[in-house]
Amino acid sequence: MTLTTSPTAERRRGLTEREVVSRYLLIQTVSFVITLWAVLTLVFLAMRALPGDAATIMGGLDASASQVSAMRAQLGLDRSLPAQYITYLSDVAQGDLGASLRERRPVVRVLVDRMPVTLTVASMAFVISLVLGLGLGLLAGLRPGGTFDRVALLFTTVALALPEFWFGFLLILLFAVQLGWFPVLGLPPQGLTLAASWHLLLPAVTLAIPRAAQVARLARARVLEERSSDYVRTARSKGLRPWAVAKHIASNSLPGTIPLLALELGGLLTGTIVVEQVFGLPGLGATILGAIGARDYPVVQGVTILAVTVYVLVNWLADIMQVVTDPRLRVS
Amino acid sequence: MNRARFGTVLFVIIALAAVFAPQLSGYDPIKPDYRARYAPPSTTHPLGTDGLGRDVLARSLAGGRVSLVVALSATLLTLTLGGVLGVVAAGLGGVTDTVLSRVFDALLAFPGFLLILLVVASLGGGTLQTIMAMGVAGSPVFFRLARSFTRNEMKAEYVTAAGALGATRGRQLMRHAVPNFLGSMVVQVASTAAAFLLVEASLSFLGLGVPLPTPSWGNVLQDARSFLTTQPWAAVGPGVFLASASLSFQFMSDGMRDMLDRRS
């Protein structure tokens, strides 16, 4: 949900740049809160639409009708939908995501336990896709039609068409089975430590390659746009060295990839679902899949709320960052 | 040969192979043959056999039928759902436009794969459910595209002229505005089909998409996962088919975008 105003219109009303920016930030923040609320409401409705409620699942097959209704009263499921909705919103706002039906402990504890693996893989993947994507895009865009550009184009096309999990298979076959550099499956036996995080390099690369391709494509397009602008021609005709021109182009064009990077960063928390399955990692993705299979709805809901909140939050931050890093967006 | 043409030729080859699967391989893709388990590639089984002795080539070709039909149906569904509602929103404006835009915006606030996973899970998994989930999850992009294209076209002079000649608003929309931007939507359609092929495979790999024993590229690869280190061939064949099919759509999409860019 986006509420946008035109900064130009506001300037005409005699506002200073500072006021325009703070007004923009305020509107973005309000829009963030509304989006989050809408999404939490959707999650609430979706969870109520799933077959079977928590009481029937906890009771199991041999629970009598009276046991189930007692359980339902205990869980507050016998109250009206609006009443449940209010409780849900206030619980979520206080960070209370309920209790796992299968593990019989708070969902928040489950999430905290499984988070480190996912966060490690996701952040490694993000860094790889950032560096690889921006690097490829910049180098390809600076010399369009050149050999490097052609190779980069082929790479991004193939990378986008590769099935993520199959690419993971190939990496396992080559680096774990043939070369024996990495473990085939799972976490290091001593647990996840900083020193052992290289164990997670293969899953991180699997995630990073298609994302890097997307970043590279957008970065290349932005660089191409920037290359044809007047100040670049002026700089060239003044005899500025090519790398100095390239630096100007880079600093003006690469911030344009922030929204895409935010989408990818925000999506990585659940983007690991498939990869965790391929590499046998016990992260958030494995947690939500297991919870779907076991109908452990509070956990499904918990992971969803976490993932969606992070997704919306990161995108909101990216909007703000773009305005902060790019003064042109404030004036034009 | 330009990329769009190359993509089309590649797609036609894969689609023909999938359609004529029974004639091409001669093996039953579903019936187990326990005497031929784990056979490496040979002249009788060009891509080897899997854990139940089924010919991997036969399963890859038969899986292609299912995967292509699922991905293309989902693409058609998402184009129809998002596209029609986008034109309706732009055409009617007012409250309809606001409500529809807000609904699709809220869908966009979900990470894509999570949304598909949740919809499939709440529908109970299966082939039809996979198509519906992808159709819903893909629709916001088409809604936005169709809405903004329609709004732009409706402002164009030729549409105003048609209105001045007495064309109704419905006729302005359907006879003038919509046909003019359909070509531009094709780029998005092809890249969506490429993505949906991969999504179907991922869902089936997770056991939520096309249910066994019906082969699809995703669940054939899921089968192969268990024997990856000892029988890698079972994973290579279907993966190459899947990647080539997705690549063919990607090429079509890129090629058509280049053509449209050059024209404008």
Joined together, the tokens standing for residue A323 give: 């305005």
Give the minimum alpha-carbon distance from B188 to chain A in angstroms, rounded to a whole number.
Answer: 14
Q: Which residue of B has its CA nearest to A39?
A: B106
pLDDT digits (tens, 9 = 90+) for A198-254: 778 888 999 999 999 989 988 898 888 888 888 888 888 888 888 888 888 888 888
CB B216 within 8 A of CB B207: no
Q: CA end-to-end span of chain B, whole Å?
A: 22
Joined together, the tokens standing for residue A38 give: 């809408």
pLDDT digits (tens, 9 = 90+) for A300-330: 888 888 888 888 888 888 888 877 777 666 6
Pick the residue of B2, B113, B204, B258 with the most A CBs within 10 A to test the interface with A by mutation. Answer: B113
Q: Do B106 and A288 touch (CB under 8 A)?
A: no
pLDDT at B141 over 80: yes
**What SS3 state is found at B55?**
strand
Beta bridge partners of residue A99, listed in sequence order: A106
Instruction: Look up tokens 């494509």; give the residue.
Output: A217
Backbone angles phi, psi at B30, to 5 degrees: -110, -35
Q: What is the pLDDT of residue A3?
A: 43
Measured CA to CA in angstroms, residue A238 lies from A7, A223, A229, A233 at distances of: 34, 20, 15, 9
> Mean pLDDT across the stretch B42-56?
73
Residues A169, A171, A173, A178, Cα dihedral to 10°: -170
CB B92 within 8 A of CB B149: no
Going through B39-166 in order, the beta strands assigned E by DSSP cover: none
Beta bridge partners of residue B55, listed in sequence order: B49
> Mean pLDDT across the stretch A70-96?
80
CB count within 10 Å of CB B68 equals 21
**Nearest beta carbon to residue B228 from set A173, A266, A311:** A173
pLDDT at B216 over 70: yes
Q: What is the pLDDT of residue B177?
A: 81
Instruction: Look up tokens 């969902």; give the residue.
Output: A107
CB count within 10 Å of CB B125 equals 20
Rounded to two decimals, what is the model's pTM? 0.83
Long-range contacts of A225-230 (CB under 8 A, 24+ apart): A225/A253, A226/A252, A226/A253, A227/A141, A227/A142, A227/A144
> Mean pLDDT across the stretch B57-62?
82
For residue A106, cis peptide bond before it (omega within 30 degrees of 0): no
Lowest-confidence pick of A64-78, A115-129, A296-310, B79-93: A64-78
Interface of B with A in 179-198 (CB under 8 A): 194, 198
Non-local (6+) Cβ contacts of A111 within 8 A are: A97, A284, A287, A302, A303, A306
CB count within 10 Å of CB A106 equals 17
Helix (H) or strand (E) holding B103: helix B94-108
Q: Do B114 and A308 touch (CB under 8 A)?
A: yes
